[in-house]
Amino acid sequence: MEVKINNSTLSLVEGDITKEETDAIVNAANSRLAGGGGVDGAIHHAGGPSIIEECRKIGGCPTGQAVITTAGNLRAKYVIHTVGPVYQGGTKGEATLLRSTHVESLKLASSKKLKSVAFPAISTGVYGYPVDEAAHIALTTVIDYLKEHADIELVSFVLFGRKTYEIFAEELRKIT
């Protein structure tokens, strides 16, 4: 599924983000940037050890913020590591933090003059964010950013599994 936001494209695909050829892929990292399971593990596994070495030098990243490294053996040029909130019922500022992961990731991409960025469904795995709520926040945040920043030409959400894809598609249809 694809929509135009001014001159930019917002696209939803089902797939594995480690295979993306966008300028940057976003990693749902933990605050120690230590690698882990889920999409984080998949990115480090596919990208090779240079990414974790750069992460070690950076040291860490607070929840809601983002840092950037090169992308080792991946097709993307950069990995933007951002730390989503752990879902605790929705009353602990999770929405603000999840919005911030998307804004901060896109700001980093803009500052590096990147044209295309791929996001996974941040916080919806072990961090437990309900996918429909996370999709609403992720999509509205990216749409608002693209409306104001024409420099990013393509944002893709690369969603792991049909179910997550369908929920994102449903939210995008509601919004647009």
In the bound state with ligand ADP, the residue whose beta carbon lies nearer, of 126 and 150, is: 126
Of 16, 23, 40, 151, which residue is the catalytic one? 40
The pair of structure tokens assigned to 111 is: 């500052």
Whether 40 is catalytic is yes
- Summarize as ranges the residues that interact with ligand ADP (CB under 6 A): 16-18, 28, 38-40, 42, 84, 120-127, 158, 160, 164
Beta strand 78-82 pairing with 66-70: antiparallel
CA dihedral 83→89→100→105, nearest 10 degrees, is 40
Beta strands in 50-115, from DSSP E residues, in sequence order = 66-70, 78-82
With beta carbons less than 8 A apart as the criterion, state whether 61 and 40 touch.
Answer: no
Name the residue nearer to ligand ADP (CB basis): 5 or 128: 128
* Smallest separation (angstroms) from ligand ADP to the CB of 32: 13
Smallest gap from Cβ 149 to ligand ADP, in A, equals 24
Question: In angstroms, rounded to a whole number, what is the distance separating the alpha carbons of residues 157 and 14?
Answer: 8
Residue with Cβ nearer ligand ADP (6 or 48): 48
Q: Among all residues, which ones are annotated catalytic?
A: 40
